[in-house]
Chains A and B, each alone.
Chain A
Amino acid sequence: MNPEPNKNNQKLVMGNEAVAMGAIAAGCDFFAGYPITPATEILEEMSKMLPPRGGVFLQMEDELSAIAAVIGAAWGGSISMTATSGPGFSLMQENLGYASITQTPCVVVDCQRGGPSTGLPKLASQGDVMQARFGSHGDRPTLVITASSVNDCYESTVFAFKMSQKHRMPVILLIDGVIGHIREPVELPPAPPPRKATFPKIDADSPRFGDAPFVPFGHGPVTVVTGLAHQSNGLAETQKGSHTEQMIRTTIENICRDPEIIDSWALKYQLDDADVAIVAYGITARSAREAADLLRADGIKAGLLDLKILWPFPNEILRELAGKVAAIIVPELNLGQMVLPLKAAVGGRVVVHSLNRADGTLLTPNDIAEFAAKQLNSIEERTHA
């Protein structure tokens, strides 16, 4: 029996609040952050929710120390998280690389604002999608998740924590100033009681890195952690980086093969018979869904591929899509970022049109539908010429 949704149980919740609620639901018991628009509500919510649960809330002196404290806390056995926006996310990049090379599970939320620099603090942007992948120096595995509704904010946060522990890596949740601040009626489960994280038992000789499970300090034998290239026992190895390269390659392979990632990579909407596909993510996917409906109402068979995980990029899904549609439209609140891996994935087998806006204004359903219709007309004109 599926009970009818009971509107009485629904509450008006802000996206940033839903992120905090999702974190608590996922067992997060440590938050360190620094105030920044438009992510501040996550910090405020965590400051209210954690102390009554015996969890740790720390307001640090900057974002450099916020992410550092989060990584330190993970090694202290906490399920830890921070949240920020573009300027703070830029400051976190070096220590994000440290979390990667030390295979530290943690979650970083970037509630994007317009950039560069201080930019457009209160307005929406999708300008950090490349930074989320390539912002820290060197190569590393990345898992970057998006959300396009308040309910998504909750569920994507829960998923981010789960994946960070499963693959022992930092996971990034990318939202934006509008999703962070929008209020929607949602029904979310009550917070579970506080629980302490548990870790597997290991011996002094057990490997600590690579395929080994994550065991924090104080939960087993003495462990060495370093941001230098290291062997699986943790000891630095700076004359050759083969262990570290292998760790990075293996993590990337494991993510790409994980059925939970594959199932969550992208949502398909009206794509079965589509001639044109809109590929969008985050707040823009929301407009794009309605744009697909508008186009269908005008007799154009349009559909949407809503990317829920941006990195690793779903190359296979795009390759398959390229064989089915005549055109792909990529609307983004930046000057054309995710369109780059998309073009690489489809390899010229389908026309790709980029629709970009980076002035802090959202792309509306009409903007996307009109742009798509115009591009299709010009394809038709060329075909009949």
Chain B
Amino acid sequence: MPKLGLNIDKYLRTQVLPTVWCPGCGNGNIVEGLATAFSRMEVDPTRVVVVGGIGCSGRTPFYVQTNAMHTTHGRALAYATGLKMAQPDLTVVVTAGDGDALAIGGNHFIHAARRNIDLTVLLYNNGIYGMTGGQRGPTTPFGSRTTTSLAGNIERTFDTVEIAMAAGATYVARTTTFDMQEIPLRIQEAMAHPGFAVVEILTQCPTYYGSLNQLGDASDMLIWQRDLTDGVPVKMLNREELLGPLRTGVFRNEKVTEFTQAYSDLCSQVGGNYGHN
């Protein structure tokens, strides 16, 4: 990728390309961002596991040339928690969609955040269930049309950033697939952060969300994303400012005792040696 000055092919599982994703899907931008972050950090692919759930986002582990675990719907974080605890010196990145992480897997999301276990979560938010053909999800904007809300969505919308912060995540950021240069930066920060790190990435689904809501093609939707977000990255905002649901930037970056470290300390207290393989 010349514009980033890096060869990211090393971190792509090229033999399984093309992806299952539709033309114009934003998920490819996120994969590029992830591979770019891996490349800049020069990670050892055998020491990284990308864990995915079910849905469009859950396919990400197949496309990056690291260890890959494609799990069950909603449970990626629970699998990742066991994996990280078993081998704490592995780098574990979880890719989950809005439906996967906030509907069927909402409970695991808040509890993994509460533990502050050292996982990096890339939460792909396209506001819809893409893999099953465009149904309403927990982040579908109020009033939007989906195949299960053709007359408009009457349910209120989850704010990923608010939930992550309330549940105790210690690094919380939001970006969009419009902000191509920002995605790898946020992923690098999240991976370097010792604790539960959430990067919500707004990503376009022109096939379902776009067409059902007359938002045009992929490039029109990228402009729509730019206009929805204020374009001003935030460092820290007060609570009232945070209520604007589509601000981007880093909302929290705090050092709080990380869970595998707390567990290691607990073992030491009772005479155990929590193995780092």
Residues on A facing B (Cβ under 8 Å): 30, 32, 50-56, 58, 60-62, 64-66, 68-78, 80, 94-95, 98, 196, 216-218, 220-228, 234-236
Contacts and interface: CB of A to CB of B under 8 A. Distances in A.
Contacts of A52: 267, 270-272
20 contacts: A30-B82, A30-B86, A51-B263, A65-B108, A68-B71, A69-B79, A69-B81, A70-B82, A72-B80, A72-B82, A72-B83, A73-B85, A75-B69, A76-B86, A78-B82, A217-B67, A218-B90, A224-B68, A226-B70, A234-B68
Interface of B: 13, 16, 45-47, 49, 51, 61-62, 65-72, 74-75, 77-87, 89-90, 107-108, 111, 263, 266-267, 270-275, 277
B58 to A, nearest CB: 10
Contact of A76 (B46, B90, B270): B90
A98 B74 CA distance: 13
B82 A80 contact: yes
A346 to B, nearest CB: 39
Nearest to A94: B72
Given A61-B111, A221-B46, A56 B85 contact: yes
A30 to B, nearest CB: 6
B273 A76 contact: no
A52 B74 CA distance: 32
A68 B90 contact: no
A80 B85 CA distance: 12
B70 A236 contact: yes
A235 B47 contact: no
Contacts of B75: 64-65, 68, 95
A223 B13 CA distance: 12
Contacts of A77: 86-87, 277
Given A69-B78, A235-B16, A217 B83 contact: yes
A236 B83 CA distance: 21
A53 B274 CA distance: 8
Contacts of B89: 218
Given A58-B82, A72-B82, A227-B71, 19 more contacts: A50-B272, A51-B272, A52-B267, A52-B270, A52-B272, A56-B85, A61-B108, A64-B78, A65-B77, A68-B78, A71-B82, A72-B51, A73-B85, A74-B82, A94-B72, A196-B275, A220-B46, A223-B67, A226-B62
A208 to B, nearest CB: 11
A164 to B, nearest CB: 16
A217 B90 contact: yes
A236 B273 CA distance: 38
Contact of B272 (A53, A64, A225): A53
A98 B71 contact: yes
Contacts of A54: 267, 272-275
Contacts of B84: 72, 76
Chain A interface SS verdict (over half): mixed
Nearest to B273: A54
Contact of B85 (A62, A68, A76, A95): A76
A218 B277 contact: yes
A65 B46 contact: no
B107 A61 contact: yes
Contacts of B107: 61-62, 65
A214 B271 CA distance: 31
Contacts of A234: 68
A297 B85 CA distance: 57
A56 B82 CA distance: 9
A235 B70 CA distance: 10
Contacts of A220: 46
Contacts of B68: 222-226, 234
A340 to B, nearest CB: 29
B267 A32 contact: no
Contacts of B70: 224-228, 236
A60 B78 contact: yes
A52 B247 CA distance: 46
Contacts of A224: 13, 61-62, 67-68, 70
B82 A68 contact: yes
A159 B226 CA distance: 59
A61 B106 CA distance: 11
Contacts of B69: 72, 75, 217, 225-226
A228 B54 CA distance: 10
Contacts of B49: 75, 217-218
A68 B79 contact: yes
A68 B123 CA distance: 19
B61 A73 contact: no
A100 B74 CA distance: 18
A65 B270 contact: no
A62 B112 CA distance: 12
Query: Which residue, of B80, B84, B85, B111, has the highest number of chain A Cβ atoms within 10 A?
Result: B85
A73 B266 CA distance: 19
B87 A76 contact: yes
Contact of A80 (B51, B62, B86, B270): B86
Nearest to A217: B67
A364 B7 CA distance: 73
B85 A222 contact: no
A61 B81 CA distance: 12
A218 B72 CA distance: 21
A218 B270 contact: no
B234 to A, nearest CB: 31
Nearest to B75: A68
Contacts of A71: 79, 82
A72 B80 CA distance: 6
Given A51-B270, A64-B78, A98 B72 contact: yes
Nearest to B88: A76
B74 to A, nearest CB: 8
B210 to A, nearest CB: 26
Contact of B82 (A32, A218, A223, A225): A32
A46 to B, nearest CB: 13
